Amino acid sequence: MNGKKGAANNIKMKNHIKVGGKLLQTTKSYNQLKQKQKDKIAQWMYEETRKFHEQTGEFPTAKTDDAVIAAVYDHIEAADIWIPYGEIASRYQGKRAKICERIQKEDTLRKHPPDTVIFMNMCMVCRGNEVLALDKVNNTYTGTTFPGGHVETRETFHDAVVREILEETGLRIKNPVLKGIYHWYRDGFHNVGYLYRADQFEGELKSSEEGRVYWIPREEYEQKELAVGMHRVLMIMDSDEFSECFMDVKEDGSIEEHMF
């Protein structure tokens, strides 16, 4: 009796399955949803991503986004929306980077009022003809770059670059030399990056959550998929002709670059 009832409630047809008295399309795509349903799902994706970030201090990646996708799908089921789980997983994986970028911008706005200056640093650590590369894994800034980070409150630029390199590589650099400045204006923020070079260091190389670090011949480094702006950074690092690069990102998305 129970077996027959279960069979009646779970009747498979071509591209459909009957569950709980409803005939559900197993091949239904995300684009077939109503716009209001899409809007709700987009909001749940944002909310669950922010919750993940606040709870872990990190942004979800391809290796950690299962928890976010499962939480979003719980909302979908509670709202009695039918869409295959794989469709939601695929949709989120395609939108994850933009959602994380939105959250990062919102957090930056909370910490820094518009039209303020944010100080950062980057250091090219050299060992003979090799440089120390960092493959960045941040959702909003990817590619091969040099280690570095933000200057903290009441911290000198020198101390900031020494601290950041230690945190991201395990190496404590000595006597870093300031080579120039790379700065850009975008979304109301003037970001100023101080560029250093260091040939002296101590410690054992180790990667961090920022990405993998490794030694690579300089000529091979330039063949990597470099992060945005790194070609200009290398121009400053390599010569005394240039000591400053300014990138102005306009509201329409166009970019103006000036080298000095």
Could you read off the pLDDT of 131-144 as tens digits, one per residue? 999 999 876 678 99
Q: What angle do CA 154, 118, 116 make, to 5 degrees?
A: 105
In the beta sheet, which residues pair with residue 200?
174
DSSP string, 46-111: HHHHHHHHHHHSS---TTTTHHHHHHHHHHHHHTT----HHHHHHHHHHHHHHHHHHHHHHHHHHH
**Does residue 2 surpass a pLDDT of 50?**
no
Closest CA to 176 of 167, 188, 186, 163: 163
**Does residue 4 surpass a pLDDT of 60?**
no
**Does residue 37 surpass a pLDDT of 90?**
yes
**Please, which pLDDT band fits residue 254 given cuts at 50, 70 and 90?**
confident
**Does residue 58 surpass a pLDDT of 90?**
yes
* pLDDT value of position 250: 80
**Does residue 98 surpass a pLDDT of 80?**
yes
Of residues 18 and 147, the one with the higher pLDDT is 147
In the beta sheet, which residues pair with residue 149?
121
Structure tokens at 204: 């054992």
* pLDDT value of position 5: 38
**Please, which pLDDT band fits residue 109 given cuts at 50, 70 and 90?**
confident
**Please, which pLDDT band fits residue 115 given cuts at 50, 70 and 90?**
confident
Question: Do the Cβ atoms of 16 and 26 come closer than 8 Å?
Answer: yes
- For the chain, the maximum distance between any two Cα atoms, rounded to a whole number of angstroms, is 86
CA dist 226 → 51, 94, 146, 195 (Å): 31, 22, 10, 16
Residue with tokens 């601290």: 163
**Does residue 174 surpass a pLDDT of 70?**
yes
**Please, which pLDDT band fits residue 1 given cuts at 50, 70 and 90?**
very low
**Does residue 130 surpass a pLDDT of 50?**
yes
* pLDDT value of position 15: 57
Mean pLDDT of the chain: 88
Lowest pLDDT segment from 2-11, 172-181, 223-232, 248-257: 2-11
